[in-house]
Homo-oligomer: A and B are copies of this chain.
């Protein structure tokens, strides 16, 4: 730790990305969905884990699903020869030539895209693989069932290779409308008699709705070892491994007296004399400013470690922890903000969000080490 990619010396913060954990989690998807092919979802710089690490750790996937066409270009430049799916298709007509050059599959979710593709095909381009997106109740992207078959037939008539896709709104919840069952039924009814493979399941469905997998599953968060629900308890027995570990160090120690307050707004007031460690990690590194007092932070102690509670409001570059359980901590002592010692979901839960948001939010100023 401490050496940045460019050889200069850093603040003692580091995100280490464990590619063996990626491979392990991908194998878990194969075990859970042995009949399906896998689109590994790596949008948002692989949920903040960086593309280099994803390409290395997930090399045995059937395809990568992502958002930005320049990320598809990056994958091709770095030797990826498997399939690539653009999850929102294309945003403007002029992306189509590049998408074809990069041999991308396209999600098509709106009328404008259908028109663009009809024009494109009329110019004698090769046909794309199209995953036509159906809005079965999520009400975000896609064609409602009434319009779905029309869109399908238009693109099919234009010569495209057609497949079917939908997305579940509540695969991580029980009995929340629209349910997986209701969405799946609508999907199956609508595509009845149409050719093409199907893609339905996100991580939550892969884990908990094994009858809703389809021909291509689309795991995201589970590949990173975090929970679709945001609760670590829900994946405790799923045998997934945390891929990212966020590390830092104690850079200052303050001895507080009873009644002393910490940081902006003085949110935490010491109830007794205590040592407080100041850690080089703040919300501008991606640690959540919403984190409450008591959020777990792991502190190295000899060959072991101990979990200490966060105290006071997280500031831009620092946070404070109560060191009463870590009497040997000193300046330079290693801490883990999340990873194998502290599930990112536990930090997220104490911050009223989900691990997804925290992983994606790790800031560019945090150096990354691929292990």
Contact = CB atoms under 8 A, between A and B. Distances in A.
Interface of A: 2, 4, 6, 8-12, 43-45, 47, 67-70, 73, 87-88, 91-92, 94-95, 98, 109-110, 112, 135, 137-142, 144, 169-170, 172-173, 176-178, 249, 251-256, 260-266, 276, 278, 280, 283-284, 286, 289-290, 312, 315-318, 320, 331-332, 352-354, 356-357, 360-361, 363-365
Contacts of A290: 290, 352-353
A48 to B, nearest CB: 8
Contact of A73 (B8, B67, B276): B8
11 contacts: A8-B73, A9-B92, A44-B365, A140-B262, A140-B318, A169-B265, A177-B261, A178-B261, A283-B357, A289-B354, A364-B364
A284 B44 contact: yes
Contacts of A276: 139
Contacts of A6: 70
Given A98-B9, A354-B289, A360-B283, A110 B251 contact: yes
A170 B266 contact: yes
A276 to B, nearest CB: 7
Given A2-B91, A68-B365, A139-B262, 16 more contacts: A43-B284, A88-B251, A91-B280, A110-B331, A137-B261, A140-B318, A140-B320, A142-B252, A144-B254, A169-B263, A173-B265, A176-B265, A178-B261, A283-B361, A286-B361, A289-B353
B289 A139 contact: no
Contact of A8 (B69, B289, B312, B320): B69
Nearest to A364: B364
Contacts of A9: 69-70, 91-92, 94-95, 98
A44 B317 contact: yes
A183 to B, nearest CB: 11
Contacts of A289: 353-354, 357
A43 B364 CA distance: 12
Nearest to A95: B9
A87 B95 CA distance: 44
Given A11-B67, A290-B290, A290-B353, A261 B91 contact: no
Contact of A266 (B177, B252, B255): B177
A122 B91 CA distance: 62
Contact of A68 (B10, B140, B144): B10
Nearest to A5: B70
Given A68-B11, A254-B135, A264 B170 contact: yes
Contacts of A140: 252, 254, 262-263, 278, 315, 318, 320
A170 B313 CA distance: 12
Contacts of A94: 9
B261 A169 contact: yes
Contacts of A261: 137, 139, 169, 177-178
A360 B263 contact: no
Contacts of A332: 112
B361 A361 contact: yes
Given A8-B69, A9-B94, A88-B11, A266 B178 contact: yes
